[in-house]
Amino acid sequence: MKPSRRTAGSTVLLLACALGTAACDSDPAPAAPPASPSAPSSAPAGPRTTTTFTSDRPLSADALDRAAEQLRHRAELIGLADPKVTTADGTLTLSVAGPVDGDRIAALAHRPVLELRPVLAAGTFGAAPADRTSGDVPAQWQDRFTALDCGTDHPTAAPPGAAAAPTAPGTETVACSSTDPAGLRQKFLLGPAALQGSDIAGSTAELDPNGAGWQVHLRFTPAGGTAFADLTGRISVLQEPANQLAVLVDGAVLSHPYVSQAITGGQAVVSGSFDEEEARELAAQLATPALPADLRPGSTTTIGSTTTAAP
């Protein structure tokens, strides 16, 4: 699944037009347009990839129709050609033109958990002779912070023996960053989430005109923009590491930039290690409403080819 790939490299959050280096009230660079679905009369010839999704619970006809439209729209946003969704017997079947990787299809049903949290303490996992820690770790968090193992390919916020259930947004948590060029990972004690996915009014995948690569541009709701300005203003006057803002997707820290001033404008840009596919995928997941139920993809089959893949 792509969420793990997104943490594979260093990612930088360019907060609201790079901390004042550009006009924060200016319009974002135009997004590279997603591939539009073709009209039925001009549907692309050749193989089509098909996946059937089943719900974790019974859905009404209306909910099933909404789920079908959301799947189709997400497929369109990430650039899949000629997406069509049909429903039958409580299942949804997605068909797109051309061969498509099963992981990419399965990701359409995923709703990433986005959180922005203040950093309370940070440590370098794997540093010799022992982990280096900055900031104060409260006594009630010391054991969990110390036990946090960031040495796996897919670090988790749950230390050995702990449940992997998501942490409640209103409580502190511990989490790992991605690997840095030296092969080390940061681990963090983080404060309660100040912003979540519900604070996002829109998101688009864009190719930075200055050569920084693919980015995901976030536009906050009015309430989210106010909370973002308040948060950045509050932490900008604190000492390191408490002047860092952690951006988490599905419990993993994608970035933890330093903040030097309150940031207004209601926008942020996540940039760095995305390729086009990853940027479009995350933007599409954040830009569309949550599905009415969890959908489980079946095997992915490409008709007109010999490809069959399980997600």
Mean pLDDT by runs of 10 across the 311 residues of the chain is 41 43 35 40 73 92 93 92 93 94 89 90 67 69 85 49 56 81 78 93 90 88 96 95 90 87 90 79 86 89 63 50
Q: What's the pTM value of the predicted model, to 2 decimals?
A: 0.72
Q: How far apart are CA 24 and CA 185, in angstroms?
A: 32
pLDDT of residue 256: 87
Cβ contacts of 144 within 8 Å, gap of 6 or more: 159, 162, 174
Extract the tokens encoding 273.
Answer: 């290690």
Using the Cα atoms of residue 12, residue 120, residue 176 and residue 134 in order, give the sign of their dihedral: positive
Closest C-alpha to 151, from 129, 183, 188, 181: 183
Asked if 77 contacts 287 with a C-beta cutoff of 8 angstroms, the reply is: yes
Single-letter amino acid code for the residue at 13? L
pLDDT of residue 156: 47
Q: Break the chain into its structural domains and give their ranges.
A: 2-30+112-283, 40-111+289-309
pLDDT of residue 43: 55
pLDDT of residue 18: 37
CATH for 2-30+112-283 is: 3.30.1360.200
pLDDT of residue 32: 42
How many other β-carbons are positioned within 10 Å of the β-carbon of residue 45? 8
Rg (CA), the chain: 21
Closest C-alpha to 49, from 90, 78, 82: 82
Backbone angles phi, psi at 72, to 5 degrees: -60, -45
| 241 upstream amide cis, omega within 30 of 0 | yes
pLDDT of residue 67: 92
Same fold? 2-30+112-283, 40-111+289-309: no
pLDDT of residue 51: 94
Q: Which CATH number fits domain 40-111+289-309: 1.20.1630.10, 3.40.640.10, 3.30.70.3400, 3.30.70.260?
A: 3.30.70.3400
Specify whether the backbone of 23 is left (phi greater than 0), alpha (psi in -120 to 50) or beta.
Answer: beta
